[in-house]
Structures are given as C-alpha cells and as structure tokens.
Amino acid sequence: MSELNLVLLGPPGSGKGTQGERLQEDFELPYYATGNILRGAVEERTELGRTAKEYMDRGDLVPDDVISGVIAERLQKPEAADGFILDGFPRTRPQAEALDRELADLGRDLTATILIDVPDEEVERRLGGRRTCVENGHVFHVDFNPPEKEDVCDIDGSRLIVREDDKPEVIRHRLGTYHEKTEPLIAFYDDKGLLRRVDGTEAPDEVGDRIRALLATLRMEEDI
C-alpha cells in the first residue's frame, strides 16, 4: 500500500487511543490524537490550550476552525508523507469537509475510516476506570488494562491521573455530543465507501487483531 491515511472514529472510550497507539507501533506512522494535542496545549498554557480548556472540561467540542487548523499543520509535515493515523478528528461534518479540502490540496486521499463501535453503557464503564499518563496520554484501565505499578505509566514512568472529563456527568454530556455531532460522520464516510466497522466490545488484543486483518484485506485489494 503506497500510503496509509487512516481515521479512527468512535464514541468516547471506544478504544481509539488504545488501538491508535498499537497501530502507530505496527506501521511506524505519525499518530495525531486531537485530545492529546489539546491536553498538551492546556498543560503548556499555550494560546490553543487557553482556548480549548473550558470547552474540554465541559465535554464540549472546541471550535471547528481551531482544530482543523491544528490538523492541517500536522498533515503538511514531512513525517506524514507516507501516511498518518488520526484519532478524534474529524468529529463534525465541517471538520470532515475541511479534512477533504486539505487532502485534496496535498493530492492525497483517505485510505479508510475505522469505526470502533461500542454501546453507551460500556463507554461509561470504561471511562469510569480509565487512568491516563500526564506526559504522553498513554491509557490504562484499573480492571481491563491495569498498569504494573499503581498510578505509574508502564511506558514512560510518568504519573497516571483521572481526566477532568472522565467524571460521570461529563461522560454523559460527551456521549450526547458524540451522538449529535459525530455520529452523522458514519453515513458521510459510508457514502464515500471508506467506512470499515470493528466491534469494539471485545478485549483490546482482539480488537487490534481485527483492525490488522481489515488493513491486510485493504492491502490485498489494492494489489489485485
């Protein structure tokens, strides 16, 4: 496959970050997770972070033009020339259209949008037990994917925290936002023939295997 330009789509807590990290390792592609980028900006108190913080803490989306600009800048980097993995972008129709325009300007296409499908009850269970590393956003779960040492990231040794937006009332608000603003993108990408669905309710290794199998099929189809 010449380029692997992937979008990971799915509700909060569906496992986009968990699978995105694995794909990044498997394919050695840049991984752009808008939530991580924004949390990094909040931590560093940049102008982007100051704009984003109040939206994020409420569980609302940051404005489309702000986040579309952040991603356009990343896609123009040489490191993204052989492909990229987008996690958490696009999340609205205007963002999806902005991505189309950016890729058209670069003379490139999306390879696939992978929908990781998980029902709301499972989302609430998962996000309630999530622990996130402060430095690099690596994710763990107290029951399903526990770190070796409590509250310490296995990967980089930094502190694990409960995200501000993982409080129960904010989780419900994020789910509402997902259904209203992001779910319509399923039809948007299905109409373009780009959507691939994966059952996200299985264990992380099974979900990862299904995504790898799906990408292998796409590769074979391209070779035929």
Say which residues have a Cβ less than 8 Å from residue 1's Cβ, sequence separation at least 6.
111, 218, 219, 222
Q: Is 167 a residue of the active site? A: no
Q: Is 45 a residue of the active site? A: no
CB of 163 to ligand AP5, least distance (A): 7
Instruction: Choose between 4 and 144: whose C-beta lies nearer to ligand AP5.
Output: 144
162, with CB counted inside 10 A (0-12, 13-18, 19+), is: middle
Contact 66, 54 (CB under 8 A): no
Q: Is 91 a residue of the active site? A: yes
Q: Which of 22, 131, 163, 196 is catalytic?
A: 163
Contact 176, 61 (CB under 8 A): no
Q: Is 219 a residue of the active site? A: no
Tokens 């109040």 locate to 54
Tokens 């992001």 locate to 182
Q: Is 16 a residue of the active site? A: yes
Q: Which of 53, 126, 174, 210 is catalytic?
A: 174
The binding site for ligand AP5 (CB under 6 A) comprises 10, 12-18, 34-35, 38, 55-56, 59-62, 67, 88-89, 91, 95, 126, 130, 139-141, 144-145, 165, 174, 200, 203-204, 207
Q: Residue with the closest Cβ to ligand AP5?
A: 35
Catalytic positions are 16, 91, 130, 163, 174
